[in-house]
Amino acid sequence: MQNSQNRTSQSALSATPSSDKISYHKSLLAFESDLIDKLSYIDGSFTVAASQPFHTPTVDRAEDVWMITFDCDGQLDPQLAIEFTNLCGGADRMCTIDGDKLTPDTLNFYAKIDVTVNLNGDKRDVSLFVGQGANKFGQVWWLGGLPLANANATILLPFVNQAEAVVQVLQVTNRDGDLFQLTPWL
C-alpha cells in the first residue's frame, strides 16, 4: 500500500500493536455473497490515528458471510478521512453504510482488503479499502477503491475480460449497519 504517512497517522507497518493490558473497542464488518471465494486483510495496511493502540484485524467466515474484526482504541481523525478518500479515488469510488455524506469527514481507522470473487470458475482479485467513522447515531462504515463506481448512489463493481468486455457487474448494497452485500446487478 502506498501511503504517505505523516505525524497524525500510523500504519501497522510503522507501529507496534499494543499489549493486551489496554481495553479495546471491537468493531465487526461483514461482507456477504455466494460469489466471494476469499477475503483477506492486507498485512500492514491497518491505519489509525497516531499513538492509538490496536490489534491486527482478523478475518473469519461463516458460509457466505465474511467477517473482519477490528480491535483498537479508535480516535476520530480528519487526516485519516483525507487519506482514505485519496486512496479510494474520491467520492465516485466510495459508498457508506448509514452515512449521509459522499465522503467521510473523520475516521477512526482504515485498512486495505483483498476480495477474490469466483465468476463461474474465473477467480478475480479486487483490492478495496474499508474505513470506520461515526455520526450521531453510532459507527459508520465506508467502502472504497478504484474498482468501484458510484453511479447516482448505485454502487457497482464491474469485471471485464481480456478484450475489456464486461463479463459481470456486482452491485454493492448495505444492510444492518455493518454488512456489505455483493449481488449480481441486472
Closest among 140, 51, 150, 32 to 91, alpha carbons compared: 150
The C-alpha cell that represents 130 in the structure block: 474499508
Q: pLDDT tens across 173-184, in order?
A: 987 779 999 999
Tell whether the model's pLDDT for residue 96 goes beyond 80.
Answer: yes
Helix (H) or strand (E) holding 166, with range, is: strand 166-175
**Pairing state of beta strands 9-11 and 25-32?**
unpaired
Cβ-Cβ contacts under 8 Å for 121 (sequence gap 6 or more): none
Domain coordinates in residue numbering, the chain: 24-184
Q: Is 93 helix (H, G, I), strand (E, B) or coil?
A: helix
Say if residues 39 and 179 touch (Cβ distance below 8 Å).
no
How sure is the predictor about 159, in pLDDT bands with cuts at 50, 70 and 90? very high
Contact criterion met (CB below 8 Å) for 67 and 28: yes
Mean pLDDT of 58-87: 95
Query: Which percentage of the chain shows pLDDT scores above 70?
Result: 86
Quickly state the pLDDT bin for 50 (edges 50, 70, 90). Answer: confident
Tell which residue, 181, 61, 40, 183, has the closest CA to residue 114: 40
Q: What is the mean pLDDT of residues 45-52?
A: 89
- Mean pLDDT throughout 13-27? 54
Tell me: pLDDT of 150 over 60. yes
- The maximal CA–CA distance of the chain, rounded, in angstroms, is 54
Cβ burial 105-121 (10 Å sphere, 16+ → b, else e): ebbbbbbbbebebeeee
Pairing of strands 149-151, 25-32: unpaired
User: Is 18's pLDDT higher than 70?
Assistant: no
